Structure 1
Amino acid sequence: MAQEQGFAEMISKIAHELRSPLTSVKGFSATLVKRWDSFTDEQRKQFVETIHQDSLRMARVIAEVVDLARIESGRLELNHAEVHLHSLCERAVKNVEALAGSERVVIEVDQDICVWGDLQRLEHVVSNLIENAVKFSDEGSISVSAQAHPDDTVEFRVSDQGVGIDPERLDSVFDGPGERAGRATPSGTGLGLYLSKRLVEAHYGTISAASEKGAGSSFTVVLPAVKGAT
């Protein structure tokens, strides 16, 4: 029963994640088709850019769902390489720039900090953390920072000044659908954090959350560094 509830919740979360960008793509494309001649070239460009960004968002959600299925079945394969964290953060911010408030993201990561991992999967993790911070903080800067440690690890953190997370819900923010089935879940807690946790663990890393109600949240990821880069 719990497994069935978990599966139903997962389908609901996927539909929720896809609904907003799909509605945007349908709306903007339909408007262009019907009223093409009434817009300037600059307006058409803005419409097409929005459609493009939302289509990329949908593609990212689908890729994450595929990864989740591979993780659950033990078939996930990682393509490890040297990943420059500053460039990775820039890519992640680009992924969420269509969201209102994304301009509040401040990258505070040195150019020379590198980790050892799968670029695409780590991009999913960072994008999810930044997207959550944007969605659940109406004002204030969102800090993306990193620090290299002598033990060949890199600590990466996304911090916001939003509403925070209730203390009793903090321990469950990374739970999967099956673990949440049958009990109340935090509003807005979807598959993104669960997938992020599983992807970080696949890199032999850790992810944790800290929060104070009304004073914001921070998510910290610790990953293996590229030896010699610290």
Structure 2
Amino acid sequence: MPGDAPVRIQAALRSASGVSVVFLVLMLLAVAAYVNVGDSSVAQRSLVVVISLSSLLAVLVGVVRYRPSRRDLWYFVALAQVVGAVGAGVWYAKFAAQDAPPVSGGIQDVFFLAFYVILGAALITALRRSELGNQGVVDAAIFAAGGMLLALLILVEPSIGMSDLHVLGRTVQIASAFADVCLLAIALRLLMTAQAETPSLQLLVGATLAWIASDFVRIWLTLIGDYVPGSSAAAGWLAFFALCGAAALHPSMGALSETRDPTGAIVRWPFLAVLAMALLGSTAVTGYGLLVKKQANSAATVAITAVLSLLVATRLALLLRGEERLRHELDLRNERLLELDRMKDGFVASVSHELRTPLTSIRGFTTTMTERWDQLSDEDKLAFLQTIDSQAKRLNRLVDTVLLLSRLQAGRMSSVREPLDIARPARDAVAELGLDVRIEVSGETAAVVEADPDHIYQIFVNLLVNARRYGAPPIRIRIESDDRDVIARVSDEGEGVPVEFVPHLFDNFTQAPNAERTQGSGLGLAIVKGLVETAGGEVWYERLQPRGACFVVRLRRLTEPHGYRSPLRGAA
């Protein structure tokens, strides 16, 4: 419906990508107006100013709006726009004063050559950010070298032969043509990266190709004597500004600045085709010189061919180095997979053993009761039932422990965090286990943390059970706090942990060599580590002198309300 058009426009403006599209459409309309204003040089110059300034403003707005993590790429783009616009302004000023196109080698060409360098820096920044090492840059250099040979044959030599310019003017023409080839090579290589599907990158590459297209059209029309300043040949230069502004206004512009894992090139047929053209370029130029012109190639052709050969050798070296690195990474991953497979087998064996022990006991007593029910006294039956109940509870605890550990390792552990003085769960754990443990609380500030009370309670229970099983009394809990951290130490005066076993203390299903006489699943300390890390803390082991073991838990202290005081200051 015609009446829906304003609504659609408003919806496009409200969407983030819609702003980029609307800006691009408006700028392309301005480019079309530039081409169709006829001989009105004043109107054309006005449109050039409007398009270039609007594009520069769009880049700055995009940087402010989307706040990319690294802005150097877009600063290069903005600077290239400024330099290119200044060069165009100088060119138009000279054209208005002389009523003829300025001669190559003037001050305007300084700005244009600087434009090529700055835009190339922007494109190389984008390429290095999305490629592995310097392989993308080397590929672009190979493309450029092959392209330079073809440009030398098709554009540069005819232009130089037909031109009566002085040496500086000819040098500028050659440098401009070669700069276009370099930009084209980098742009094509960018389209072969993993980020080639990013709209902002596509717009930026399109802007580069538009500028290059106008450059080549101008050179070709100049060769045949048909170039007219202000004609449609300039549309590509103006489209460059429009596309740069649209690229900066698109939400994906931040993706070009994000730090990500570098990847290699996406090897597609265009990559292989461009590489083949670059490598065959020197052969084509050499054959043309020998068969058509009946003369050896120029020094420039020889130099470019030599550089191309070096670049190809460098690329092959990088490929071999990359293959070696990938092979090394593959070996490491295979070793890790074998280690995980061994750990899985050990886990299954340990769980099977831990489950079999209570199940064997339960089955034995139930079988005895079933087969000898009439021969057993009531006292024996009660004792058997109590044993079955005890083993069932042990089995239930083991299953709960394994499930808890699996949730911790999978990162699916839910918690209810609240301000907590950790002396409270420490006291509750001591009372639950019925141990004779001295709790000492020291420090100028209360030992308040933000954590799940059940998790902190479980941490103390596991550490106290560990001290009771593997250590010796007296068992102590000492809680210290300062302005930053709360530290809890659970210690005993047993034999301690063997030095060679310390690195494996917090692994799953591990027990020290001196722990054969004890019963345990070997999961208690692994769960402690998982719960402490869930609370944002850390845990480690310290050996006491002359004997004893100490486990230290450090948590970030929570600043409590003014006047808060621990109920367990001193000793308990």
Decide: shared fold, TM above 0.5: yes
Q: Which amino acid aligns with 1:167?
A: V
Of the three residues 491, 507, 512, the one matched with 1:186 is: 512
| Residue 540 of structure 2 corresponds to residue 203 of structure 1 | no
For 1:210-221, list aligned pairs within 5 A.
210-212=542-544, 215-221=547-553
Of the three residues 489, 500, 506, the one matched with 1:168 is: 500
**Residue deviations 1:69-102, cap 9 Å, x none?**
222222222211233433312432355x3xxxx6
For 1:62-141, list aligned pairs within 5 A.
62-94=399-431, 97=433, 103=435, 105-110=436-441, 113-137=447-471, 139-141=472-474
CA pair 7-144 structure 1, distance change in 2 beyond 3 A:
same
Conserved? CA contact 2:479–2:489, under 8 Å: yes
1:204 CA drift (Å): 0.8
1:30 CA drift (Å): 9.2
**Residue deviations 1:174-193, cap 9 Å, x none?**
2346xx8xxxx733582221
Q: Which amino acid aligns with 2:495?
A: V
Classify the secondary structure of the residue corresponding to 2:468: helix
1 CA distance for matches of 2:368 and 2:415?
41
**Residue deviations 1:7-29, cap 9 Å, x none?**
23223444555566667777899
Aligned to 2:559: 227
1:62 CA drift (Å): 2.6
| Residue 339 of structure 2 corresponds to residue 2 of structure 1 | yes
TM-score for both structures, normalised by structure 2:
0.32
1:66 CA drift (Å): 1.6
Conserved? CA contact 1:93–1:127, under 8 Å: yes
Classify the secondary structure of the residue corresponding to 1:171: helix
TM-score for both structures, normalised by structure 1:
0.70
**Residue deviations 1:16-67, cap 9 Å, x none?**
555666677778999999667448xxxx79x96x877766554443333222
1 CA distance for matches of 2:533 and 2:475?
24
1 CA distance for matches of 2:408 and 2:355?
21
For 1:42-57, list aligned pairs within 5 A.
none
**Residue deviations 1:154-210, cap 9 Å, x none?**
111110111111223223212346xx8xxxx73358222122112211111010101
CA pair 79-164 structure 1, distance change in 2 beyond 3 A:
same
Stretch deviating more after TM superposition (213-222 or 186-195): 186-195
More strand by share: 1
Q: Which amino acid aligns with 1:220?
A: V
> Which structure has more RCO (C-alpha within 8 Å, separation ≥ 6)?
1
2 CA distance for matches of 1:211 and 1:25?
39
| Residue 398 of structure 2 corresponds to residue 61 of structure 1 | yes
Identity %: 26
Conserved? CA contact 1:165–1:213, under 8 Å: no
Classify the secondary structure of the residue corresponding to 1:195: helix
Conserved? CA contact 2:422–2:456, under 8 Å: no
Structure showing greater Rg: 2
CA pair 75-132 structure 1, distance change in 2 beyond 3 A:
same
Q: Which amino acid aligns with 1:202?
A: T
Q: Which amino acid aligns with 2:473?
A: G
CA pair 18-129 structure 1, distance change in 2 beyond 3 A:
farther
Aligned residues between the structures: 210
1 CA distance for matches of 2:439 and 2:407?
33
CA pair 51-147 structure 1, distance change in 2 beyond 3 A:
farther
CA pair 90-17 structure 1, distance change in 2 beyond 3 A:
farther
CA pair 79-36 structure 1, distance change in 2 beyond 3 A:
farther
CA pair 227-29 structure 1, distance change in 2 beyond 3 A:
farther
CA pair 37-132 structure 1, distance change in 2 beyond 3 A:
same
Conserved? CA contact 2:532–2:553, under 8 Å: yes
Conserved? CA contact 2:495–2:548, under 8 Å: yes
Stretch deviating more after TM superposition (199-208 or 52-61): 52-61
Conserved? CA contact 1:163–1:213, under 8 Å: no
